[in-house]
Amino acid sequence: MAANLKLKTKNSKRILIIYTGGTIGMMHHHKTKALVPLNFSEITSHIPELKHLKCKIDFHSWKKPIDSSNVDLDFWKELASVIEKNYSKHDGFVILHGTDTMAYTASALSFMLDNLQKPVILTGSQVPLGAIRNDARRNIITAMEIASSNVVIPEVGIYFSNQLYRGNRAEKYSSSKFDAFHSLSYPALVEAGVNIEYNKEAIAKKPKGKKFRVHKSLDSNVALIKLFPGIPYSMFWQVIKIDGLKAIVLEAFGSGNAPTDEVFIGYLKYATDRGIVIVDISQCSGGSVELGKYETSALLKKIGVVSGGDMTTEAALTKLMFLFGQNYSAKKVKQLMEKNLRGELS
């Protein structure tokens, strides 16, 4: 469902708001008082401030808005297709999305949208737009203002509570605070206070002479294992034996450390010898994996485990899905996992 809001502004930019679902677009029904999705063709009646932005606003709404917990690869492909279809007609995109999987979607889009030259900003809220005290209004207005700014941000970002983060660097860390996201390994691209301050040194450079492309082939044959003291090593064996498995993201301790137990290392070596890519990332939100720094990670490096550097879990998983979706060999995927493709890796 699409709608158009014609604002008479000279030389204004055109921004597409894409509503997929989530808390941000909910309103209380006037009779039942239950939360129901907002009709986005009437958004300016709920957020009249949008009328004062120097941009033309178009809308695209999912026919059936979804809870972000139901996000899957088909959803990402559809979302990328909407952007692809509207790319030439718009100067920027604001995606209204549930917060629970927003970082996954932002990371996936960062890899799927190749040679992006326009802002794609995801935002959401902790409290519905229809509530008296909410963060939805402020997040939508500021995300729109940034998307329509003369300072072009040619990348996928997450805007939340006064900060715009690089999408594949952000993580949701709180389910109750208005500042629900953070990015400990990369600075904010924008800080919105009384004035909107752009961190131009942190913003990606606009690609020159390269055509925008959308990659819709993704491969979900990846697994995630988080280490914990006392983890049964047989668990790894069960995962490794999954039919069609191509990669494992291993959330290790600290700077990439893991048990040195022979059985554990043996299982991982069995996997790498058979072409399963194992990417070591840290359970810590900040910091980076340094394989070989300590004895407890030297064995991982020796058996062919790949360092995920300072990638987030969301970035590592979606990057693997993207790379295997391009039909790269395991050897090529290993090389590219340690190479910065979209600003996901320092």
Catalytic annotation, pick one of 20, 23, 142, 313: 23
Q: Map residue 70 onto helix, strand or coil.
A: helix
The radius of gyration of the chain's CA atoms, rounded to the nearest angstrom, is: 21
Query: What angle is formed at CA 119 by the lines to CA 113 and CA 123, rounded to 5 degrees?
Result: 100
Separation CA 146–CA 220 (nearest Å) = 33
- Report yes or no: 94 and 50 within 8 Å, Cβ to Cβ: no
99 annotated active-site: no
Q: If residue 19 lies in a helix (H) or strand (E), which one and from where to where?
A: strand 13-19
> How many CB atoms are closer than 10 A to CB 140?
25
- Report yes or no: 122 and 157 within 8 Å, Cβ to Cβ: yes
> How many CB atoms are closer than 10 A to CB 298?
13
> How many CB atoms are closer than 10 A to CB 282?
24
Q: If residue 27 lies in a helix (H) or strand (E), which one and from where to where?
A: strand 26-28
Residues labelled as active-site residues? 23
